[in-house]
Structures are given as C-alpha cells and as structure tokens.
Amino acid sequence: MATEILRQSTLPDPFRAGLSSGWKVVDASALTEDRTVEADVAIVGTGAGGGTAAEILTGAGLTVVMIEEGPLVTSSDFRMRESEAYPQLYQESAARKTKDKTINILQGRCVGGGTTVNWTSSFRTPVATLAYWASEYGLAGFDAADLAPWFEQAERRVNVISWPVEPNENNDALRRGARALGLSVGAIRRNVKGCWNIGYCGMGCPTNAKQSMLVTTIPAALTRGATLITRARAWAFEHANGRVMALDCLGLDARGTDPTPRRIRVRAKTFIASGGAIGSPALLKRSELPDPHDIVGKRTFLHPSLVSIARMPERIDGFSGAPQTIYSDHFLERASPGDPIGYKLEAAPLHPVLGATTLPGFGAAHARWMHELPHAHVAIALMRDGFHRESPGGRVELKSDGTPVLDYPLNDYLWDGARRALATMAEIQFAAGAREVMPVRPAAVSYTSWPEARDAIAALPLGPATANVVSAHVMGGCPLGPDSRRAVVDPSGRYRELENLYVFDGSLFPTSIGANPQLSIYAITAKLASGLAEKLALRPRS
Amino acid sequence: MKYGTRDRRTRAQALASPPPTSLRITRRTLLKAGVAGVAALVAARWLYTTVSAPSKTTTSDAPLDSNARAILAAIIPVILDGALPGGPDAAGARDEALAGAAQAIAGLPPAVRSELDQLFALLAFAPTRCIVAGLWSPWPDASRESIAAFLGRWRDSRFSLLRSAYEALHQIVLGAWYGNPRTWSAIGYPGPPSLAIG
C-alpha cells in the first residue's frame, strides 16, 4: 500500500506545483475570521461554465475571484476509491435525490465541478436541439453555424479527440447488440490527453489526462492572478437599485457538509452565477432577486435515465477502460418534439459501490449479482426531456435551511419512455449474448430470454414500479432567450432584472440537450463570456 | 421564511436549537389517531420534516445514536445476506458494515441527516415500529425473516415515503459495504490499478 502511494506521487501534479508558485487559493473551512474579498468579477462555481468564464475574463485583464462550494482536490489526491471520491467530489455523497426521492442525481461538487468527475463524453449540442430553441423560443445567434467556432475553440481547449483505442467490453457489447438489431451507433469523442484508459474518470483523473477545468482553465486563471475560495457556499447576493452590490458566502467545515460561523463577503463590479442548474437557481431564489414572470428554477431538466444490467458469458470488467466510448441515437433521432420521448443509449462504468447501490433488491438476490460483477454489462438510456408539453421538467425549491431540492415529478409520459427504454436495452443486451437481463426497477426481477423480457416489460404498469431513475445531467432553470416572459436571462447571458449579474452554466438551456452536456456548456459560456469580456474591457476601469 | 443575509441570525439560531419534540408529538397524536390513520400520519410527519428545517440532528462528527445503531445492526445481516462472511470473521464483518454505514451517514448534508434521524426514530418507537414497519419484536429480537418481509413491504409500498426509506437503507448499507476494499476479492473486483511508471 505504501509503495503504491509512493509510486502514485511520482506522477506530476501541475496544480500542486502552481500552488507552491504562489497561486491565491483560500480554503474557507480553515478560516479563523471573516473575510472580505474584492475583484472586478466574482464567479460562483468552478465547473464547465465558471471555469470557462474565469479563463476568458482573466485573459481580458480583469481581476477575478472564484467561489467554490466543494474542496480543492487534485490528481495526487485521487486514489480511485469510491468511498473517498463520492463524499468528497459529489453533491450529497453522490446520493442527491429529487424531492420525492424518486431520482438519484450524480452531480459534481469540487474545484472543476462536474468536469472533474464526468466520464469525458464530448458531444456538440445536437442540431435538432438548437433548431428547437430557435423555433420554439426565438433564440437567434445560437444555431449550429453560429456556435461552430465556439465548439472548435472549446474542443481545442479541452482537447476533444476521436478516441483511438478499442472500446472496452462494456461499450463493445452495446455496439455489438445495437448493430445486430440494425440500430445506428457512433463513437464518443473524449476530452483527454495521454489517457491511460484505466476507467476511473468518475473518481477524479489520477493522471491529469482528462482535460477538465481543474487542469485547464482554472490553472490559467490562477496564473493570471485570480483568487479561488474553496469550501465556501455562495449564499445570497445583496442587491439594490437594479445592481448586485455584494455576495455573501458561508464557510463550510472540512467535510464540506455543515456551515461554519465564518462568512466571506465578496465585492465586485460584475457577478456571474455558474453554480449549475440546481445551485444557480437556488442562489438567485435565496437572494430574492426580482423574477416578475416566476421563471427561476422552473423547467429544470435531468435526462431522466434508466439502467439495465445484464449477465454476460464473457468477462466485461465494466470497472476497467474508458467508461463511455459508444452511443446510439437511434431512438433520439426518430423522436421529434411533440412525440413520445426519445432516448440516447450509452454504457456506464461499474465499480462496486455504484453497482451495489444501483442493483435493486437485497440479500441473496443482490449478492448473486454482485458476485457476477466482472460479467455484468450496464446499459443506460437518457431520456431527452423538455421537448413536449407533458415534459415540463422540475422545479428548484429551497428547504427551510435554504439548501436546494429539485421537485421533479415523473408522469406517464416519462414512465412510458422508461418502459420502452428498458425494453430496448434488454433487447440489445440479449442480442449481444446476455444470459440474463435485469431492468433496474424496485422489484429486482430478471429474465433469461428476450421474448420473456419483452412480454414482462410490456406488461409493467406505468408508475414508480416501472423503473428506478437516475440522472447525471442537470440543465435549465434560468433559461436564455429573447422573450422576457419565458427567459430570465437575455441572449447576452445577463440576468434581465439586474445590470451586473450574469448566468453562465447549464441552467441557461431552455430544454435538456439530448447529449452529455459538458461541451454545450463550454461553447455557449465561452461565447457569452467573450461578449462580456469585450463589454467590460471597453468600460474604463477605475 | 426568507433567506437574505439579514436572516443570518434566525438561521444560526435554528441550527443551534435543541432537539425537536417531534417524537413526543408523534406519540401523543398517534394515540389519538388510532390505527387506521397512523400510516398516513407518519407519512405526513416524515414528509413534513423532509422539507422542513434541520433543527437538531447528529453532527457530522457525532456517531449514530443507540437506536439507529440497533436498527442498522439488525438490518445489516439481512441486506447483506450472502455477502457477509460466515465463521470467525462474521462478527467483525458486521461491525465493519455498521461502522461504514455510520460513516456514510455522517458525510451527508444536515438536512438529509435530519431526515434519517426521523426515520430511525420512527423505526425505534415501538408503536410505529409495529404498525408502520409491521415488526412486532424489538429490533435485536426480530427474526431475519420478519426483517426481510419488512424491507420487501417498504420496497413495494404504494407510499413513496416508505419506498424512499427502503431505498435509503439499501443505499447506505450496500454502498458502505462494497466501498470497503476487504469485500472486493469476493466479487472479483481487482481494485484500482497501480499507477507505477516503468
């Protein structure tokens, strides 16, 4: 064990090197007194949106302070253990739930946010999604051609590449099964540089191959003199006369769960909310900002996802190798807005804790599947929510302690999609050679043939017994658009009701994306942040 | 309730307030309500606390109280049946499972810990244990079969509250157990790779 740690520490950790060169980083859990910080721009959150904005704004010569709720942990700390990674790097120990506790949400909470823990899947925003934003929401300037240069810039920045390595068995089985059924499949591009193909992306990349915000934009911003405050929860904006005056933050304890008595007051000329699609709406609501059309936090989307686990004759080793390299949009492309919901098919990695908590049932039935862990294949179906009147998404609310909860009721429109998705995944898995398939639903029933699975799944009543639902993508809640009745953020990214507040994160999206959202966030926030940088640089600095 | 900075003091006071009298209230109301209304009442009670303040709860450093430990100690051998080792390692493994579950709970946010406190309080209080969980013996005396039946009933319940309570127990016990490297060889998981260079 000691030898292993010693060996791990021989890998370079550029972030630690930067810290010793004098980067300004404050851990709010260690503060012994309250602090006041000033900057031209204050950015709440260091994920895909906040990281992108920090690099662009410091590049324009502005002073920036970043406020992050999670801890600063870097490659030397990433020991590839779920028991450490989930409590440390994810909201609510990777067990964040919707209000009725039906949906489990995986959401990052650390420096780099979701980009530090995501599975590196890089998709441009689907053209169909952008077209829907234009036709349904009148959003101009965000079509595929408008965004192309921003996608190119983002892809260069985080090194999005066609993955040259063969997919692992978990992804290959998805490809085999889908092809056998005549379904279209594609290869997933990844934002990695020198990836070792070990498969622990979700616990923080120990080799710095993943080009997350933690190794790209945030180091760039810190090198240009930005300040990073960690374990500080942005609590409320103070605002008067149509402007945000200051941001009040609570220090968190070292575990990151409980507030301490310490307060950090941030004064800036411009403020940016990049706390993600639960955090940003919650911050705006706590701040009691004007919201005349009652939009903030509504239409929050999740890509509600279903899981199907199969027992394969060969070893799959779903814990090993790049987690996501194959996808199928077959059932997404066939679904137009207004149709029954479409879904994207992907594989998901399988480590012991994620597997054990996802596998339904208990006792001997559960143990039997765990003993088959190396032979288990995991398919997921991500439903594209927000494109139908029966899919209005969820609503971010505040608990009485001011922390957020997402109320996302599932209705028959979504349960119908869940049932179809479970059937699709079972058919693919049997076509790939599965001996047994278990749609992940509370009853924990498995099937040994496709006809048996098909008939049983078709007979499932719609409702909570249909399926267990998970999410790894939170989007919407502060939609961007030209119509003030439907969008609280204008097309420049500015919160309509205040002069100097911007929202740069996945909460801008008027619907879900229909693909893993990181690249959509990078490109769209890069466009908006560049516009803001231009505007602020033109203004005389006092 | 407002969340502006001017309300800091109220909030701080709320965080520092003494333990709730919820159990006493529940007990009194229970006796009045009679059997029929109990499930709904308990559901309402827990739902209410689910969306209300983390008044007093276990701090992130404090261990679980003895009620919670007794409940988890009884549930663990049932949820982990087929996973726990037998023989001389059995008792130590159960202790590790319990310690892991306690640690997992300590890492959750205050509002969630508060909900779990409520859940354990309901399961510990004999009338609600009998009527809502359908478990007639105190936890240490309950048979494995009766605990398995209780878990199955909550899993398949038409009340989302009971289903979610089952899911919470499921996730905490199984997640904590399989996070422990000692459990990995039995399931064929080799553990993380060594990152030795050369």
Residue A379 burial class via C-beta count within 10 angstroms: exposed 0-12, middle 13-18, buried 19 and up: buried
Same-domain pairing of B22 and B60: no
Q: E strands, A305-391, where? A: 305-311, 326-328, 343-347, 376-383
Residue A11 burial class via C-beta count within 10 angstroms: exposed 0-12, middle 13-18, buried 19 and up: middle
pLDDT at residue number A124: 98
Asked if the Cβ–Cβ distance from A258 to B59 is below 8 Å, we say yes
d(CA A45, CA A281): 13
Q: What is the mean pLDDT of residues B144-151?
A: 98
H or E element in which residue A436 lies: strand A436-439
Name the residue among A122, A115, A70 with its Cα closest to residue A91.
Answer: A70
DSSP single-letter state for residue B63: P
- Report residue B15's pLDDT band, with 50, 70 and 90 as the boundaries: very low
CA A134, chain centre distance (Å): 24
Asked if the Cβ–Cβ distance from B178 to A198 is below 8 Å, we say no
B16 close contact with A: CB closer than 8 A: no
pTM here is 0.92
Contacts of A196 in chain B (CB under 8 A): 195
pLDDT at residue number A402: 97
Asked if the Cβ–Cβ distance from B108 to A93 is below 8 Å, we say yes
- The number of distinct structural domains making up chain B is 2
Is residue A35 a contact partner of residue A265, using CB atoms and an 8 Å limit? yes
pLDDT, tens digit (0-9, with 9 covering 90-100), for A432-476: 999 999 999 999 999 999 999 999 999 999 999 899 999 999 999
> What is the chain A residue with the closest CA to B55?
A401
Q: Is A260 helix (H, G, I), strand (E, B) or coil?
A: strand
Q: Is A135 helix (H, G, I), strand (E, B) or coil?
A: helix
Q: Is the pLDDT of residue A385 over 80?
A: yes
Q: Which residues of chain B from 115 to 144 reach within 8 Å of chain A, CB to CB? A: none
Q: In this prediction, what percent of chain A has a pLDDT beyond 90?
A: 96
pLDDT at residue number A539: 66
Going A204 to A399 to A284 to A245, the CA torsion angle's sign is negative
pLDDT at residue number A329: 98
Does any domain span residue B82?
yes
Contacts of B111 in chain A (CB under 8 A): 399, 401, 403
Same-domain pairing of B74 and B102: yes
Higher pLDDT among residues B50 and A95, named by residue? A95
Q: What is the mean pLDDT of residues A16-39?
A: 97
Q: Angle at CA A160, nearest 5°, toward A158 and A162?
A: 160
Which is it for strands A259-273 and A501-503: parallel, antiparallel or unpaired? parallel
* Nearest by CB: B81 against A353, A364, A442: A364
Q: What is the mean pLDDT of residues A346-356?
A: 98
Residue B28 burial class via C-beta count within 10 angstroms: exposed 0-12, middle 13-18, buried 19 and up: exposed
pLDDT at residue number B29: 46
Same-domain pairing of B45 and B117: no
Q: What is the mean pLDDT of residues A130-136?
A: 97
Place of tokens 């309250």: A34
Same-domain pairing of B104 and B145: yes
Same-domain pairing of B27 and B125: no
Same-domain pairing of B91 and B150: yes
Q: Which two tokens stand for residue A39?
A: 């900057």
pLDDT, tens digit (0-9, with 9 covering 90-100), for B52-88: 434 444 555 556 899 999 999 999 999 999 999 999 9
Contacts of A238 in chain B (CB under 8 A): 5
pLDDT, chain B, mean: 79
* Nearest by CB: A363 against B78, B108, B168: B78
Phi/psi-derived region of residue B45, left when phi > 0, alpha when psi is between -120 and 50, beta in every other case: alpha
Contacts of A360 in chain B (CB under 8 A): 170
pLDDT at residue number B35: 46
Does any domain span residue B37?
yes
d(CA A110, CA A291): 29
Is residue B171 a contact partner of residue A95, using CB atoms and an 8 Å limit? yes
Distances (CA, A) of B164 to A465, B159, B170: 12, 9, 10
Asked if the Cβ–Cβ distance from A83 to B180 is below 8 Å, we say yes
pLDDT, tens digit (0-9, with 9 covering 90-100), for A230-249: 999 999 999 999 999 999 99
Gyration radius of chain A's alpha carbons: 22
Does any domain span residue B41?
yes
Distances (CA, A) of A255 to A30, A480, B37, B177: 11, 35, 40, 21
Same-domain pairing of B103 and B150: yes
Place of tokens 């090194």: A159
d(CA A83, CA B102): 13
* Nearest by CB: B110 against A207, A257, A370: A257
pLDDT at residue number A537: 85
Does any domain span residue B21?
yes
Q: What is the mean pLDDT of residues B15-36?
A: 42
Name the residue among A118, A346, A358, A45 with its Cα closest to residue B167.
Answer: A358
Lowest mean pLDDT segment, chosen from A138-142, A204-208, A334-338: A334-338
Q: What is the mean pLDDT of residues B34-41?
A: 48
Name the residue among A118, A65, A427, A392 with its Cα closest to residue A249.
Answer: A65
Which residues 6+ apart lie within 8 Å of B54 measured at CB? A401, B15, B110, B111, B113, B114
B54 close contact with A: CB closer than 8 A: yes
B180 close contact with A: CB closer than 8 A: yes
Which is it for strands A469-471 and A103-105: parallel, antiparallel or unpaired? parallel
Same-domain pairing of B138 and B88: yes
- Number of C-beta neighbours around residue B40 at 10 A: 12
pLDDT, tens digit (0-9, with 9 covering 90-100), for A273-323: 999 999 999 999 999 999 999 999 999 999 999 999 999 999 999 999 999
Does any domain span residue B190?
no
pLDDT, tens digit (0-9, with 9 covering 90-100), for A206-238: 999 999 999 999 999 999 999 999 999 999 999
Which residues 6+ apart lie within 8 Å of A314 measured at CB? A169, A375, A433
> What is the chain A residue with the closest CA to B101?
A83
pLDDT, tens digit (0-9, with 9 covering 90-100), for B109-145: 999 999 999 999 999 999 999 999 999 999 999 999 9
> What is the chain A residue with the closest CA to B172?
A357
pLDDT, tens digit (0-9, with 9 covering 90-100), for A257-274: 999 999 999 999 999 999
Task: Please give, rounded to a whole number of angstroms, the shortest distance from the CA of A360 to a CA of chain B.
Answer: 8
Phi, psi (deg, nearest 5) at residue A493: 95, 5
Asked if the Cβ–Cβ distance from B51 to A368 is below 8 Å, we say no
Phi/psi-derived region of residue A53, left when phi > 0, alpha when psi is between -120 and 50, beta in every other case: alpha
H or E element in which residue A396 lies: strand A395-398
Q: In this prediction, what percent of chain A has a pLDDT beyond 70?
A: 97
Contacts of A86 in chain B (CB under 8 A): 175
Asked if the Cβ–Cβ distance from A235 to B5 is below 8 Å, we say yes
A35 close contact with B: CB closer than 8 A: no
Q: For testing the chain B interface, which of A362, A403, A410 should be mutated: the one with the most B CBs within 10 Å?
A: A362
Lowest mean pLDDT segment, chosen from A235-249, A259-273, B7-21, B165-179: B7-21
Does any domain span residue B46?
yes
Asked if the Cβ–Cβ distance from B164 to A101 is below 8 Å, we say yes
* Nearest by CB: B163 against A99, A198, A464: A464
Q: Which two tokens stand for residue A467?
A: 């399926």
Domain of residue B170 covers: 56-182
d(CA B148, CA B43): 21
Contacts of A370 in chain B (CB under 8 A): 83, 178, 187
Q: Which two tokens stand for residue A45?
A: 């959150």
pLDDT at residue number A11: 86
Does any domain span residue B2?
no
Place of tokens 């080792």: B85
Same-domain pairing of B24 and B98: no
- Number of C-beta neighbours around residue A392 at 10 A: 17
Does any domain span residue B16?
yes
Gyration radius of chain B's alpha carbons: 19
Same-domain pairing of B36 and B60: no
Asked if the Cβ–Cβ distance from B1 to A400 is below 8 Å, we say yes
Same-domain pairing of B168 and B76: yes
Distances (CA, A) of A365 to A361, A475, B61, B145: 7, 36, 34, 15
Name the residue among A299, A232, A244 with its Cα closest to residue A498.
Answer: A244
Residue ending a domain, choose from B19, B34, B50: B50
Same-domain pairing of B20 and B92: no
Our CA dihedral for B92, B95, B100, B106, rounded to 10 degrees, sits at: -150
Per-residue buried b or exposed e for A67-86, using 16+ beta carbons within 10 Å of the residue's own CB: bbbbbbbbbbbbbbbbbbbb
Place of tokens 């009543």: A461
What ipTM was estimated for this complex?
0.94
